[in-house]
Each structure stands twice: as C-alpha cells, then as structure tokens.
Amino acid sequence: MMDADSFKELGTCMLGSEFHVHREVGSTNDVAKGLAREGAGEGTVVIAGVQKGGKGRFGREWLSPEGGVWMSVVLRPGLPPGDVPILTLAGGLALAKAIRGYCGLEVGIKWPNDILIGERKVAGILTEAEMDSERVHFAVMGMGINANFDPAEVFPPEVAAGATSLMVETGREVDLPGLVMRVIQELDAVYLDMLDAGPRGLLEEWKELASTLGREVRVRTMKGSIEGRAVDITPDGALLLRMGDGRVVKVVAGECIHLRYQEKDYKTERPS
Ligand code: BTN
C-alpha cells in the first residue's frame, strides 16, 4: 500500500508538493477539486487505490479497480481559459513518456489524450478546470493507468476489448509508487517548459508520439461526426482533418476514433 512517504525521493521543482493518499475514494478529481477550492497549492497530488465513482471523458464511468494508478494533480497555471486543451496535451505527453521510460513499452497518443499500446487503451486523462472569462483559477489533471490487473478479468467484455494494461504488456507487475513518481517527474518537466517557453516544444514532442496523425479518423463532436485524415495539430491543441475534397477542417474537441490501421509516416502527410 502506498503512503505519502513512498514519494520522498521525487526531486521535482513544482509538482508533488503534497501527497494525499487514500485507500478508496469516489473520484480523485473530485477530492482534488475540493482541496483546490480550499486553497491547496500547485502540485498537490491525490492518489487512490480504488475509485468507486471514477470519471472518464464525456461523462462516462471510468472503471478503477485495485492495481491501477488513479491520481489527480492540482495545477494553477494562470493561463487564459483557451489554453486548457494544451494543458491536457501536456498531461498526455508526460504520461506517454513516463510509461515508455519506466516500462520500456512503445506507446502512442490518440488525440487528444488517450495513451495506446497498439490499438488498445492503457491510460487516459480527464482535465477539469475552474475558470472565469479571464483566467483559469485552477485545473485538476486526472490520470488513470491500467497497471497491475488484467482488463479481461476485471472489466466487462465490451470495455476489456479495447483495453490493455502494463501488466499484460510487460508480463510482470509494475512498481506503482515508482511509476507515480515517474509520471509526476515527467509532468513537472513538461509543465515547467510549457510555462517558461510556451507550447512549441511540447507540441513537437507530442507529434512524435501521436498515433493519430496520418490516420483516417472519425471525430464525434457536439455538432455531429466528421471524418477525414488527421494531418496536424494546431498551436492551441486542435486537430486538423483533411477532408475528401481537400479542405482542411479544425476540430477543437471531440472523441476521436481511428478508422483503419495503417503504418504511415505522418510527416509526409502534413501540410507545409
Ligand atoms: C478518459 O480517458 O476518459 C479519461 C479517464 C481519466 C481517469 C482518471 S483516474 C483519476 C482521475 N479521477 C477520475 O475520476 N478520473 C481521472
């Protein structure tokens, strides 16, 4: 069982200033939001062994059994509200780098923030922000990683079909405190660089790990579904789709589905 002492050797600049470790919660995002409203500092981390009301994107349930990493980080970036999508990309990049570096697995990022191994999802991010028209008061970045369990044993078949875990992919159990520390260290580095130097560096790295670019995709948006070839992301984190008639359309938010598997070098597909 993890406790706050498990993370003593963190060595980060900003994140991981405080750890709240729980055996079981509803949702770590909700706990972190409560702490943030009470003034919790930037970098406060909430971790739970089990979530009974884990939340995914689009109001979906996020199944969070024992053996996973369910954590949320309080951020106070002082950014304008329009920059929240970039924050989520920063989280996806940090998570992908942590899994790759710590477990030695090849991962891809499905826009905007699913971490895939092959075509199966191993981790996801839910960023929730409280803001006014001028600036973000705080954001809570929730990260869920399927780590030490087999989705086929604990998820219903329809969820298990699209899921994998670190244990399944590596054939062994992962040290959870070590993995959590690696995620926070990677996020600390990506986040600080973004605040200091802007999003350019993170976007370039994100594109290197993106499995969506170059692919035929369908994106379900609030206005309906749109299909095209994903050719790039914009500096504000939106996806650019090239339609059958050659038009390029910007998609700001939505659920992305990879339509066909194809080994393509997306760099040849991007408009110059
Ligand atoms: C998604 O891919 O739909 C996002 C999943 C985010 C899950 C994490 S687990 C920790 C944090 N607490 C939650 O309730 N959700 C996020």
**Angle, CA 149 vertex, CA 56 and CA 87 arms, to 5°:** 35
The verdict on the CB of residue 54 being under 6 Å from ligand 1 is yes
- Mutation probe of ligand 1 site: the residue of 20, 64, 220 with most atoms within 8 A of C-beta: 64
Residue 272 pLDDT > 60, yes or no?
no
Report how far ligand 1's centroid is from the alpha carbon of 147 (Å).
14
Model confidence at 13, pLDDT cuts 50, 70, 90, reads: confident
Residue identifier of the C-alpha nearest atom 11 of ligand 1: 142
Strands 216-221, 120-131: pairing is: unpaired
Lowest mean pLDDT among 9-18, 136-145, 188-197: 9-18
The verdict on the CB of residue 55 being under 6 Å from ligand 1 is yes
Model confidence at 3, pLDDT cuts 50, 70, 90, reads: confident
4-209 placed in CATH 3.30.930.10: yes
> Domain-by-domain residue ranges, the chain?
4-209, 215-268
pTM as predicted? 0.91
The verdict on the CB of residue 218 being under 6 Å from ligand 1 is no
> Residue 153: how many CB atoms within 10 A of its CB?
10
215-268 placed in CATH 3.40.50.620: no
Residue 267 pLDDT > 60, yes or no?
no
- Is pLDDT larger for residue 131 or for residue 267? 131
**How confident is the model at residue 222, as a pLDDT?**
87
**How confident is the model at residue 261, as a pLDDT?**
57
